[in-house]
Chains A and B, each alone.
Chain A
Amino acid sequence: MATEPLAKEVAGTCVDAYGSAIGMPQLCFDWFPNQIFWLVITLVVIFLVLSRVALPRIAAILAERQGTITNDLAAAEDLKAKAVEAEEAYNKALADARSEAQRIAAEARAEIQSGLDDAIAKADLEIAAKAAESEKAIADIRAGALESIQVVAKDTAAELVTALGGEADAKAIDSAIDAQTKG
């Protein structure tokens, strides 16, 4: 750095002999062309870098991110709809299975009922047959009993007549007994 006074022509009008500023360096018009020239170059370079590379790239990144978010949201919505659909299908399958089970149970019940009815009818028939047989047997016995009564009554009547010292008239006794028992 300047420890001894500079030559006047090197220092110019803006810097004193010791390298310090005279007044405001901002107002040193000697330096304006230089600063403006480099400023213009800088601004043009920045503008080109921004408009050609940086800004389209950042815009693309932001758009891509927005797109990704939108897509993900749509996918989530889709999956949610699918889940609801699956639940509905499950519920429907459940209802179907329930009605099928009910149908099968009703069928089984009907089958059992018809089997039962058949068996009851068969049993009824058998019972009726047995009852008829029994009735016939009873009638036979009853008829047998009547005959026996007549025989016993005739014998008894004859014996009584004899015992009372009478003469047993077989014919009269028979007709009397028959008349009594018929009535």
Chain B
Amino acid sequence: MATETTAAEGSSLVFHPMDQFIVKPLFGDGAIAWYTPTNVTLWLFLAIAAIFALLVLSTSKRAIVPTRMQSVAELAYGFIYKMLEDICGKEGVKYFPYVMTLFMFIVCANFLGMLPMSFTTTSHFAVTIPLALAVFLTVTVLGFVKNGASFLGLFWVSSAPLALRPVLAIIELISYFVRPVSHSIRLAGNVMAGHAVIKVFAGFAAIAVISPVSVLAITAMYGLEVLVSFIQAYVFTILTCVYLKDALHPSH
């Protein structure tokens, strides 16, 4: 980040850990309207390209004995398919393209964000909140369409003592509406925090004495972040499956 050092006045220690998250127009320096192609656009489209390469190009030969890339595609398919089937049962399988879209997008965006100098789209609430809201709305609409008013049974814990049920209903209702918040902030928060911490350590690298420690710390954080990239995609997807299960089978 050359900008940081030039922007720094006098001091050699400059931390701008959040600058990596700034949205910039791809062409020129104009204001950002809703349609402006920005670095967000670029990295979102790179995610599309990665998914296309992984799932479409690698399987183009339709080999019975898969190549390495084709096995990765098949593994990803089997992983999500099995997760969805285990949690939601047979009737959940028809939502497989939807769940797979979410998983592939998040995992590819997270890993693309691990490239140095990249822009991490999934670190932005503007990206994760629509994802989580989409899941929330899908589950709610699906729940009422599939079960009608009995979907509200989700909030009425029939196994609890009768006196406790209204209290539990309130708690369940609150937790239901908190879902999209936790769902989106968990993903963006994890990704953002990791990237910011790496940037902070990178700032310390300017001091010669500390720089070896700093480089080691960056390496360790990077390893951790690679794990987090996958685990957060996995968590987002598995929670989507769990919420879908609530819509399909609302009884506790």
Contact = CB atoms under 8 A, between A and B. Distances in A.
Interface of A: 1-3, 6, 9-10, 12, 14-15, 18-21, 23-28, 30-43, 45-47, 49-51, 53-55, 57-62, 64-65, 68
Contact of B104 (A35, A50, A65): A50
Question: By DSSP majority rule, is chain B's interface helix, strand, loop, or mixed?
Answer: helix
Contacts of B40: 31, 34-35, 38-39
Given A21-B22, A28-B23, A43-B101, A55 B48 contact: no
B6 A3 contact: yes
A150 to B, nearest CB: 125
Contacts of A34: 23, 32-36, 38, 40
B32 A54 contact: no
Interface of B: 2-4, 6-7, 16, 18-19, 21-23, 29-36, 38, 40-41, 44-45, 47-48, 51-52, 55-56, 59, 62-64, 66, 70, 73-74, 77-78, 96-98, 100-101, 104-105, 121, 123-127, 130-131, 134, 188, 192
Contacts, number: 159
B10 to A, nearest CB: 14
A55 B97 contact: yes
B124 A50 contact: no
Contacts of B96: 55
B130 A60 contact: no
Nearest to B189: A26
